[in-house]
Amino acid sequence: MEFLYFPLTFYVFFIGSLKTGRLFYFAAANPKIPLGGFANDSKYSIIKNIPTDFKPKTLLILKNDNSENLRNKIKSEDFRFPLFVKPDIGEGGFLANKINSWDELLNYHLKHAMDYLVQEFINYPLELSILIHNAEGAFKISSITERKHLFITGDGYSNLEKLLRMDKSAKFRINSILNRCESQLNTVLEKGQTYQPISIGNWDYGATYYERTELLNKIILNSFENLNTKINLFNYARYDIMCNSIEDFLQGKMIILEINGVKGEPIHIYDMKYNLYQAYKEIFKHWGFIMKISKRNIREGVVCPNFIKGFDMLRNHYITKKASLIKRN
């Protein structure tokens, strides 16, 4: 990842700032969100703007909430296990977990001194990411990617750790996956039994990505344009959604798990059909969209954060994530 994104970092902060005259120009792409969604943006602030029919039931647990506050909030919203939890500020599956019981939730709560979201667990079979923008003035979808979660098939005698180490899709991410599955590694699966060790459709945790732009049609385009207009936050964004089927997706029936602003990369580049050159081409093309939107909005009067304020936002994002690993008082 570091190797892949080093040239992009140079482009974003140096070439982009030279072309726009603003170091934090990308904040103008989505001016209603801190840094345009690059960092320090609250997931809860975004999800509040999603129409109820399109989002999971969500509760914000605050850093200062004690265990009794947590219990009362969960009861008041009538949540049922399993649940899904994730930090209010973070990305890339950071500290995102499926929670199966009250004991697991309490343990998560006590281990992390942070604001976090509790959501109903959505277990639809189809997970997609849709990247939208209006760089040319009209609403467009530039990427549709299917995320297939990591599944392991048992042989009747090997434990989960051995099966994971033999799995080709886990090969280059094995350490991250093993760390996530630490408590399950000695589990022996029956022959033919399939098992999903991680409930996150993230590349770092074994998910496989497939470009599905062929699914784009007029209904999907209109559906997302209408949704994006109602949400009224984004000129550039990646919608991460779940559906029951392709047919439901084509009819605009979906649950939005999360929306990322300018940090929403075109993840179809992780489809194995893309080589490094093609991946870079797609990344720079999409940052070209962000730059074009930002320049347009700056011309129309949007004010970008200055050097001090911008770096303070980046610093706060880093500090907040680091503090998330500290136990609650």
204-224 pLDDT, tens digit per residue, is: 888 899 999 999 999 999 999
Among 50, 59, 110, 66, CA closest to 80: 59
pTM recorded for the entire structure:
0.93
Whether residue 309 is contained in a domain is answered as yes
Whether residue 2 is contained in a domain is answered as no
pLDDT score, position 2: 66
Q: Which residue has the higher pLDDT, 129 or 165?
A: 129
Whether residue 329 is contained in a domain is answered as no
Q: Do 285 and 298 sit in the same domain of this protein?
A: yes
Whether residue 10 is contained in a domain is answered as no
pLDDT beyond 90 at 5:
no
pLDDT beyond 70 at 180:
yes
Whether residue 7 is contained in a domain is answered as no
Q: Do 85 and 213 sit in the same domain of this protein?
A: yes
Can you tell me the mean pLDDT for 253-267?
95
Q: Do 164 and 137 sit in the same domain of this protein?
A: no
Q: Do 124 and 192 sit in the same domain of this protein?
A: no
Range of the domain at 122: 24-147+209-323
Q: Do 162 and 311 sit in the same domain of this protein?
A: no
* Counted domains in the chain: 2
pLDDT score, position 167: 86
Whole-number mean pLDDT of the chain? 92
Q: Which residue has the higher pLDDT, 122 or 196?
A: 122
Whether residue 253 is contained in a domain is answered as yes
Q: How far is CA 181 from CA 83, 205, 324, in A?
A: 18, 10, 20
Q: Do 124 and 179 sit in the same domain of this protein?
A: no
Q: Do 194 and 163 sit in the same domain of this protein?
A: yes
